[in-house]
Amino acid sequence: MNAVPVERAIALVSVLLLLVQTAAVSQTDSVHFRSGRWELRNAEVVEHLGRTCLMGIAFLKDVQFGNGVIEFDFAVDAAGGRRSYPGILFRMQSEDDYERVYVRPHRAGWYPDAIQYVPAFNGVDSWQLYNGDGCTAGATIPNNQWIRFKIEVMGTQARVFIGDAPQPSLFIKDLKHGVSSGMLGLSGTRDKTAYFSNFRYRIDNSLQFPPAAALDPAPGIVGEWLISQPFKNAHIDLEQYPRDQELSDLRWQKVRTEPSGLLDIARYAKPYAGEPTCIFAKTTIHAKKDETKQYAFGYSDFVTLFLNGKVIFSGNSAYRQRDPSFLGIVGLNDYLYLPLKKGENELMMLVAESFGGWGLMLQDAKAVEQHKSLTKVWELSRKLRFPESVVYDRKRDILYVSNYLNAGKEFISRVKLNGEVETMEWIPGLVRPTGMCIWKDKLYVVERANLVEIDLESGKIHNKYPIPEARFPNDIAIDADGNMYITDSQRSIVFKFKDGQFEVWLQGSEIGNANGLLVDSNRLLVGASSDGTIKSVDLKDKKISTVVSLGPGSIMDGIKADGKGNLLISDYNGRVFRVSTSGERTLLLNTTVPKYFCADFEYIPEKNLLVIPTLFDNRLMAFTFKR
């Protein structure tokens, strides 16, 4: 036999084996509820809406599911506000430790938590601890119809689809059990409010997800605690310091919170079955002097706080305890003013769990994260009228600041570089002014319906050019030929303005909610707040590419060049970044905790001066920047 056919035969066999292996990995397994593979727990197989289906709780223990796709159909009867919480359990390490996604039909169409992701640790299904972006979402869930449920899982992320929608209803950014695998389960009630049918799954390691975002700790978060062993609530006094009730056998373990500051206590302590349980948690706060500091905190379900051994707060945040609609969701929603003494201060919390989550979080409410390259030099607080944009006039060595709110009588101020207000209402008679730029000794200001032209020498308004079909005109930039570009954020438009005429230069979802602008050589940089990106648009062929992404929720407000080839950009929520030519970003300032916003700032390279207007926080801040 010729050697070539043999080699071809071997190669063909190898390809066939690879195809068989690939098919085995990606094969969908449909599991009938009468197959004998299901372990029924308070469940039964019934007929409903023309199908054989499951009602209740059941586990598929012969599966080790890590990455892949799970699908089933569900039907609910939510008539009269009847409640059920049908969903999927996956990567189950045990019946007490798993990932879970479920729906709330009674909240569908009205609330943003009709779908919820929640991890369970030590038998605590902590839905009160995990809410908001990446954990909850709204949905439409018709009554008495079969609805498709699909979840795709890969690594530490997952996508949840309800119905036939092509886009996920919920994107889970961070599965709290990490990369793991385990059993599958269905979780429902046996009261004829929820049913499952047509269950199938596929183990698949080839799913494509975006890179998992880095989870950076929030400024001022207390990220490390010591916690005790659990106690039954009935055995201790919930309002006494341990020493005062002769609890001398506390055994402490060091634990860390999530980057958000949330400490899910059930990760480390198992509550007593059927009995309210508590732990003590403590941390040390260092004070450089005697002072009173504000802290934001959250807890579930009951808490007593002790500062240096003395009770300073007690609260009950359990489900429905404050009013019939109170959910007890944990967040940094309450505030303490701690009278700290110079040196080390012990803050201790007694935290008791009853239902829905066992956790705490604590944060310095005035914490600001500031890069070592920045030095604050001055601040104007409550002096202006909601400053939105700043532009520097090199000829006159002065800052112009647009004041966005003043009871319909908005204006432009002149502010010196040392922070002194030279002229408060220098140019009055404007309507909600935002972005500004200077061209040929004229100041151009974007207001609600017009582009305003102001002569800088006389300080007079020369022209107002109506912006076509204006909804929310926002920022402005100018190129070397005098062409001006103006964003309309609500219309996702960039206008081009020249010789008194406007044209729609660019429009579409790629620049969704277009905000900040900068002409940088032969490109226009556009802040697209719809996806939290800075887009580069070629001024000749309008080819679009992404320069940097800060992620959904970021409001891309200010863009400036630093004079050395890098960019400075602001997320209005309170963050300023430097972006290198390679796209690497460095966080320079984070004021999200005290809610000092970062609007359309100015940077003066020759003076290394960064001036930030905070709009609704109503302050103007200046920093020197060592590049």
Q: Does residue 7 surpass a pLDDT of 80? A: no
Per-residue confidence (pLDDT) for residue 22, from 0 to 100: 41
Residue type, 602: E
Whether the domain at 28-203 and the domain at 385-625 fall into the same CATH topology: no
Alpha carbon separation from 377 to 168, 374, 570, 608, 610 (Å, rounded): 46, 9, 19, 11, 10
Residue 95 has φ and ψ, to the nearest 5°, of -75, -5
Residue-wise pLDDT for 26-77, tens only, equals 689 999 999 999 999 989 999 999 999 999 999 999 999 999 999 999 999 9
Q: Residue ranges per domain, the chain?
A: 28-203, 224-364, 385-625
Mean pLDDT of the chain: 93
Q: Which of 34-38, 322-326, 434-438 has the lowest mean pLDDT?
A: 322-326
Per-residue confidence (pLDDT) for residue 19, from 0 to 100: 36
Detail the DSSP E strand segments found in 368-513: 369-370, 374-381, 387-393, 398-403, 410-415, 421-430, 436-439, 442-446, 450-455, 460-466, 473-478, 484-488, 493-498, 501-507
Alpha carbon 500 to chain centroid distance? 41
Q: Measured between alpha carbons, how far is 204 from 206 in angstroms, rounded to an integer?
A: 6
Residues 464, 449 contacting (CB under 8 angstroms)? no
Question: Which tokens go with 506?
Answer: 């660019």
Strand partners, 537: 524, 544
Q: Measured between alpha carbons, how far is 476 from 473 in angstroms, rounded to an integer?
A: 9
Per-residue confidence (pLDDT) for residue 26, from 0 to 100: 61
Question: Which tokens go with 91?
Answer: 């990567």
Residues 99, 242 contacting (CB under 8 angstroms)? no
Q: Measured between alpha carbons, how far is 149 from 202 in angstroms, rounded to an integer?
A: 14
Per-residue confidence (pLDDT) for residue 559, from 0 to 100: 98
Lookup result for tokens 């000829």: 395
Q: Does residue 13 surpass a pLDDT of 60? A: no
Q: Does residue 133 surpass a pLDDT of 80? A: yes
Beta-carbon contacts of residue 411 (< 8 Å; ≥ 6 apart): 385, 403, 424, 425, 426, 427, 428, 429, 430, 433
- CATH superfamily for 224-364 is Galactose-binding domain-like (2.60.120.260)
Alpha carbon separation from 364 to 223, 533, 596 (Å, rounded): 11, 29, 15
Mean pLDDT of 493-513: 97
The CATH number of the domain covering residues in 385-625? 2.120.10.30
Per-residue confidence (pLDDT) for residue 370, from 0 to 100: 96
Q: Measured between alpha carbons, how far is 21 from 407 in angstroms, rounded to an integer?
A: 70
Per-residue confidence (pLDDT) for residue 197, from 0 to 100: 97
Out of 21-25, 271-275, 363-367, 581-585, give the one with best mean pLDDT. 363-367
Grade residue 12 by pLDDT with cuts at 50, 70 and 90.
Answer: very low
Grade residue 21 by pLDDT with cuts at 50, 70 and 90.
Answer: very low
Per-residue confidence (pLDDT) for residue 212, from 0 to 100: 82
Q: Does residue 10 surpass a pLDDT of 60? A: no
Residue-wise pLDDT for 326-337, tens only, equals 999 999 999 999
Grade residue 9 by pLDDT with cuts at 50, 70 and 90.
Answer: very low
Percentage of the residues of the chain whose pLDDT score is greater than 90: 89
Detail the DSSP E strand segments found in 114-203: 115-121, 124-125, 136-137, 147-154, 157-162, 170-172, 182-187, 194-203
Q: Identify the burial level of 552 via C-beta atoms within 10 angstroms of its C-beta, where 0-12 means exposed, 13-18 middle and 19 or more buried.
A: middle
- The structure's pTM equals 0.85
Per-residue confidence (pLDDT) for residue 498, from 0 to 100: 95
Residues 332, 361 contacting (CB under 8 angstroms)? yes
Alpha carbon separation from 97 to 170, 185, 376, 575, 611 (Å, rounded): 22, 12, 48, 37, 50
Fold of 28-203: Jelly Rolls (2.60.120)
Q: Does residue 4 surpass a pLDDT of 60? A: no
Per-residue confidence (pLDDT) for residue 215, from 0 to 100: 78
Grade residue 265 by pLDDT with cuts at 50, 70 and 90.
Answer: very high
Out of 133-142, 239-248, 396-405, give the one with best mean pLDDT. 396-405
Per-residue confidence (pLDDT) for residue 560, from 0 to 100: 98
Q: Does residue 244 surpass a pLDDT of 90? A: yes
Per-residue confidence (pLDDT) for residue 27, from 0 to 100: 87
Grade residue 316 by pLDDT with cuts at 50, 70 and 90.
Answer: very high
Residues 506, 493 contacting (CB under 8 angstroms)? yes
Q: Which of 14-18, 553-557, 601-605 has the lowest mean pLDDT?
A: 14-18
Q: Does residue 582 surpass a pLDDT of 90? A: no
The larger pLDDT score, comparing residue 2 to residue 59, is at: 59
Residues 514, 435 contacting (CB under 8 angstroms)? no
Helix (H) or strand (E) segment spanning residue 15: helix 3-26
Q: Measured between alpha carbons, how far is 305 from 307 in angstroms, rounded to an integer?
A: 7
